[in-house]
Structure 1
């Protein structure tokens, strides 16, 4: 029996589009899902959750980032094993929810509980024995790194691209940061959870464009992790805070996750 009051799913252009009444948000929310084009589809597949940035929605990674095309190319050329990509909305709060708990809706729980549950209900090829990964860009990078560190038991590995590294940095992007601050219950940083759960962290990486507006924040996070002796991978590539960078460099994340698929 489904744990959700309503779930609608449709398929178009090789992608699945889900609208579900979220228990965490108390309203409808959306997920775009890619299943690899393989015949027959393997009996079990790992899952990669991709989180979008501010101003975006569930279709960003597919339409703007061509994430499904990148994954299919890497699968077809044998560079990664087949995997499902799930691209949820952040809950569509203001310019961005930050993927943190709010006073009236839990945008964190939406990702770590509802999204996983609805995918397991709709795609039988997912099961508890297969790894789950999480990644994201900008605000989604903050979400992925923070949730990967806060819930280390939930994810096999995690990754961030051009990531916001602390809640306060959202002030650079959202139009009403004071309203977001008033609504958000947790306003911490990625480092807080990485240090708190340092003994239980799964492998993780993050990267940033060398001319990105968040490059200093990412370098500072890397330096802090080195000082704390927390194992990680940090890389810089040419680029700025834009889709051209994320579309090109997503493959580093997918290849990284591929290492942890049995």
Structure 2
């Protein structure tokens, strides 16, 4: 009788060491007429048949596998909080926008429509928006806020880690002019695509918001100004600024807090 018990104990230990299940999938985007990769991480031992989902968006020049390769505790967070995590490829410099007339840059449609539909159809994801959140780093932090504000029927909560929340001070950086045209000639388009000028969209149903940026980050000033403006406009949000700069060490530290924030949001959604 001891052998089966020891074998069972060994298998359980192996499960714990292996951690959450990691899949790499290819999702066809009808809007861009191509397959796009994504990493999907799900708990090893699911406690519910349907799981809340967190979409993690990478930064400029990043890839779909950035979080699983660079955030050591990601699988542990997935197991601990029982959250399904989806990390899509957002292209080298998409900023997660749909660009009129450019079929290669329809990433708003891909992430918030095509990918969400794929995950709902192929994974144990709760399909209600109150069980779906989105966050990201740098370009991905901007993208998360941009998508959540424009698709509050899709996402119930949103976060940002060192997000480029006001793109206007950086008119010559990170390929944004390739997407929107020059700031001098297309200022109206830049205004409509920057988070700082989209806050009127947060005036509808409550949207839990978590904004985080390191004190030594080059995006710290724009994040602080966003926090101050949201405070002035009485938009509820959580703002955090810890010691740190624009790197993956800060992302890893921030995700510990953001997972707890989203977990609490999902728990509250059940009440």
RMSD between aligned residues: 2.2
CA contact (8 A) 2:42 2:78 kept: no
Report the alpha carbon displacement of residue 173 of structure 1 after superposing the two structures with TM: 4.4
Higher relative contact order (CA 8 A, sep 6+): 1
Cα distance in 2 for residues equivalent to 1:179 and 1:164: 16
Which deviates more from structure 2 when the two are superposed, residues 59-68 or residues 228-237? 59-68
Q: 1:34 to 1:147 in 2, by over 3 A?
A: same
CA contact (8 A) 1:16 1:32 kept: yes
What is the match of residue 128 of structure 1? 127
Cα distance in 2 for residues equivalent to 1:15 and 1:162: 26
Cα distance in 1 for residues equivalent to 2:151 and 2:225: 23
Structure 1 unaligned blocks of 5 or more = 1-12
- Whether 2:177 is the aligned partner of 1:178: answer yes
Report the alpha carbon displacement of residue 256 of structure 1 after superposing the two structures with TM: 0.6
CA contact (8 A) 1:35 1:83 kept: yes
CA contact (8 A) 1:206 1:234 kept: yes
Q: 1:224 to 1:159 in 2, by over 3 A?
A: same
1:193-222 C-alpha deviation (Å, 9 max, x unpaired):
222341224111101001111000000101
- Larger strand percent: 1
- Whether 2:59 is the aligned partner of 1:61: answer no
SS at the partner of 1:229?
coil
- Larger helix percent: 2
SS at the partner of 1:209?
coil
CA contact (8 A) 2:78 2:84 kept: no
Cα distance in 2 for residues equivalent to 1:209 and 1:260: 24
What is the match of residue 212 of structure 1? 217
Q: Which has the larger radius of gyration?
A: 2
1:134-172 C-alpha deviation (Å, 9 max, x unpaired):
000100000111111111221121100001013435646
List 4+ stretches of structure 1 deviating above 4 A: 169-173, 183-186
TM-score, scaled relative to structure 1:
0.83
- Whether 2:257 is the aligned partner of 1:252: answer yes
Paired residue for 1:37, among 32, 38, 44? 44
Listed as ranges, the matches of 1:19-30 within 5 Å are 19-30=26-37
Report the alpha carbon displacement of residue 257 of structure 1 after superposing the two structures with TM: 0.6
Report the alpha carbon displacement of residue 181 of structure 1 after superposing the two structures with TM: 2.2
Structure 2 unaligned blocks of 5 or more = 1-19
Cα distance in 1 for residues equivalent to 2:73 and 2:170: 24
CA contact (8 A) 1:152 1:201 kept: no
CA contact (8 A) 1:157 1:257 kept: yes
Q: 1:89 to 1:36 in 2, by over 3 A?
A: same
TM-score, scaled relative to structure 2:
0.81
Listed as ranges, the matches of 1:59-138 within 5 Å are 59-66=65-72, 68-72=74-78, 75=80, 80=81, 82-90=82-90, 92=91, 95-102=92-99, 103-105=101-103, 106-123=106-123, 125-129=124-128, 131-138=131-138
